[in-house]
Structure 1
């Protein structure tokens, strides 16, 4: 099978005049990425060199009066605005290149997503100007931006919105999979966050992710294999700086139905002795959210399993150590761990834990050992609780202890920790692992020995 041929780098070309003013008839410019210390007077002086400026407004926070990092410049004519866009876009002001767009009072065009593309795997050296210079060769650009982090460093992806949908489609067809600054880029249609969230739980998706590819698998192989299931707009295998396959890639279908069919048919199949994973392509945040949810689910399952077999003991005699504790409970089943809690001086705290291999063994141990006299002290045995459960139980107990009970008032018997018929109104039967010093270390009703 032929290896993937490295394509020539996409060479940035000179910017072509934008048609924004003629299309929108706008004489107003949006100036973004401003240094927070740029003033309206400073902007007026700079933009007046190009044409007659009617007004300048730096947008500020209502409370702090600090610049929000963008401003609006209004010219006398659309021609002056166009000239300012062509001459001043990405010009450094206070050492920071500004990003200029035509200000359109009707945001529907911008929000519609028409002509909007997403570029991934950008070299970190590519800034807004380099991105604009590269893609403006395909048509007039309405919006262009490289995503940056809090430190001003590129995140490796960006967005370009063309005035014409045909320009965007042309870019996707010709640039997707090409090399830009020696890095193979992915170019596809931009999908708004609302649409991604809406479709995240459904089968409506166009972009397919495939991994576990053989190093000899090429873009053409992907196109041939996936093309059986529908019309493909792009198919690319991601490569490193040396052009070596990263063994994963993306296939973009024209129709969501075809993408879903491809996932169902190809996921788990074997090619070149490699079992493929094929699924819906996801953004990083979405993948992280799913992994976090799965981790929490697994953690809760582990805690439930642990609680079912792990027992908490207290009111232990000081003479009982780990070995004696194991001897006491070994008759009920296989013990996986056994520990008497000790203070820094090595003295027993009178509490400990015993874990069994099954929940049935633990249940039997609780039934037969709780309240049993061990070395003249009644032993307390109960399923171990998590910190959250102990805190919730203690809060209920604490609130009940401090609530006045009038003569003849009904004593709630359904609350956790209260035992009907115990000596005294509100007498508690405490179980779990209370923090040291908050509640007596022995169960209520048992005397100290």
Structure 2
């Protein structure tokens, strides 16, 4: 009733061989200053029921069982984080955002079928003030060699979660680029060379996925404004475009690729 740790836990592996290896190699190892003991779980059925009852993730890959956050965060308490490096985990994200305030949980969005990171995620804070502080202080900060962008989460933290990579990863469409599957998803492309045409833009972004259309914004006299949009067939392709092209060099200019709200 208090949520306080009992000092013990469960890890579920994909097969019995890996579980046996964990017992052989990790029993009596040090975890945060304490030697842990590892043995076989003698009540697997009861354990699964307990995990479900306590809001944990049963039958998850190694390390994935942890307290599952609520389906919807309180208004104004969650932020969207983009341009995350592929190897960033939920724990990396949480640690990075602790400087802004009390982090309740952090999630990395993943593709539903493969569990591969989409290069974006969510961080939920204890209150709206901390979330605002994160946007003010951590936007454009560096995380594992990449400059991330941070803004308010416009979908309120709602998501379907898929337990992978040590934490609950989000498999909802990426915030700000529409819905997954057959939904239309748009990205903003900034800092374009003024001579860039829409066919060039479309050809470039085909490397990220199925491009439905590309447009370059123009002034009344037909001159390029140096930015445009690209519409993809899926949220996965849009996320891939942001991951692949944000900060990439194109004709001597560093592109800025963001979700188009």
The TM-score, its normalising length taken from structure 2, stands at 0.44
TM-score of the pair, normalised by structure 1: 0.28
User: Going by fraction, where is helix more abundant, 1 or 2?
Assistant: 1
Larger relative contact order, structure 1 or 2 (CA cutoff 8 Å, min sep 6)? 2
**Larger C-alpha radius of gyration, 1 or 2?**
1
